[in-house]
Structure 1
Amino acid sequence: MASDTLDRRIGAVVEPVVRLHDLALEAVEVRSVGKRRLVRVVLDLADGPGSLGSDLLGEASRAISAALDERDVIPGAYTLEVTTPGVDRPLTSPRHFRRAEGRLVTARRTAAAIADGAARSVTGRVVGADETGVTLRVDGSDAVVPYSTIENAVVEVELRRLEED
């Protein structure tokens, strides 16, 4: 069975379980590790700022494991890894930007946006996001950056607490 087909079948079983826990399914990846398969399920909070705690992640992991065992979707032995996307994941959807509210983000602009006079990149704190763009606070002013002008964006790792700003 092709891995992408297996990924989709696993995703179809996992998605309803994830929704019951008010979480979002970010990715399902299946790869061979020796004679076993590694099934990696990436979860995140459904929306808004915050972090996915280990208790909820563990609860979701147990429910996902039970659902996969019950449906017997994965042939042979496998290891299930349920994780979060991590701070270095690219922001690729409006939900990702809403999840980054309050965080410092760097967005690199598209060639078309640069040709229209936009700076190559913009770094600011996310103060809002909707279906068309993200609002970044840059040097005390809010700037709306349409998603269509963003080539890629990431959360910047800050070594001090937000409360210290």
Structure 2
Amino acid sequence: MSISTTTERTTGGDMSEESALERRLHSLVAPIVSDLGLELYDLDYAGGILKVTIDTPPGSPGGVDVDTLAQCTRLVSRELDHTDPIPGHYTLEVSSPGLERTLRTPRHFQREIGKTVSIRLRDVGNSDRRINGVLVAADDTACTVRVDGTAAAPIGDDRVVPYDQIDRAKTVFVWEAAPKPGGRGKPGSKRANRPADSSAPKRAPKKTPTVNSTDNHPNDQENMPS
């Protein structure tokens, strides 16, 4: 699950080239994010919306909490108010990537090696435009996916995909079923259909105390969620 904070700003000026503007914004935002001990995962400006995605460094436990997102939003907003790099009215959104992450740059692919990914190709004359599998390698020009069974290749084949052929790509979160407690053959588990020992003395059943459901306990009110 991704979380985000949003703020709106209005500035003056003429519209600049978007790619140059994004590079300028990246140079302003990246040091702020780094000072918070985080990484600038992605920055995208389109349609009057500046989306800043921040994340913890690879291998770090946990993710970005709401308080840190709010702090980053304030700091970035203050810097943009001071430098005024965006012409016109715009909206600032600061968020964390979430479980399924959009892959837009070589660094994104390199960071997610070993993860399951879903890739949609551009229309390059290939009838099968979707590739699903495990990302096994990535460099500055292409990534390699061990496909999990598509019309393009059988299961287990590695497919090299140049970045310039990719329309969209993202990681896919794979749910893993938790092991059931008390499995068969585990120590301490009960055996089904075990014959009873007729020689053992029988115990009288325990009496179950009766609880009056209308009684009010002092701690009940304290433990209720606010």
State the TM-score, normalizing by the size of structure 1: 0.60
Label 1:74 to 1:138 Cα distance change in 2 as closer, same or farther (>3 A). closer
Structure number with bigger Rg: 2
| TM-superposition CA deviations, 1:11-30 (whole Å, max 9, x none) | 62553332451424421346
3-state SS, counterpart of residue 126 of structure 2:
helix
Label 1:30 to 1:83 Cα distance change in 2 as closer, same or farther (>3 A). farther
Q: Which runs of 5+ in 2 are unaligned?
A: 1-12, 149-154, 180-226
- The match for 1:130 is 139
Distance in 2 (CA, whole Å) between partners of 1:158 and 1:59 is 28
3-state SS, counterpart of residue 126 of structure 1:
strand
Distance in 2 (CA, whole Å) between partners of 1:18 and 1:59 is 14
Q: Which runs of 5+ in 1 are unaligned?
A: 32-38
Q: Look up the equivalent residue of 1:27 and give its one-letter code.
A: D
State the TM-score, normalizing by the size of structure 2: 0.47
Number of equivalenced pairs = 153
| TM-superposition CA deviations, 1:26-75 (whole Å, max 9, x none) | 213463xxxxxxx5332245986878623554443232122123335568
Q: Out of 28, 41, 51, which is 2:51 matched to? A: 41
- The match for 1:107 is 119
* Bigger fraction of residues in strand: 1
Label 1:58 to 1:77 Cα distance change in 2 as closer, same or farther (>3 A). same
Identity percentage of aligned residues: 27
Label 1:111 to 1:77 Cα distance change in 2 as closer, same or farther (>3 A). closer
- The match for 2:175 is 160
* Bigger fraction of residues in helix: 1
Distance in 2 (CA, whole Å) between partners of 1:14 and 1:138 is 34
- Matches of residues 44-123 of structure 1 in structure 2 within 5 Å? 44-45=54-55, 53-54=64-65, 56-73=68-85, 80-84=92-96, 87=100, 89=102, 91-112=103-124, 114=126, 119-123=128-132
- The match for 2:45 is 28
Report the alpha carbon displacement of residue 159 of structure 1 after superposing the two structures with TM: 5.4
- The match for 1:145 is 160
Label 1:123 to 1:162 Cα distance change in 2 as closer, same or farther (>3 A). farther
Distance in 1 (CA, whole Å) between partners of 2:85 and 2:106 is 31
| TM-superposition CA deviations, 1:80-138 (whole Å, max 9, x none) | 3322466364x3321222233333222234554638xxx54321011221112212233
3-state SS, counterpart of residue 114 of structure 1:
coil
Label 1:73 to 1:94 Cα distance change in 2 as closer, same or farther (>3 A). closer
Decide whether the 8 Å contact of 1:107 with 1:123 is kept in 2.
yes
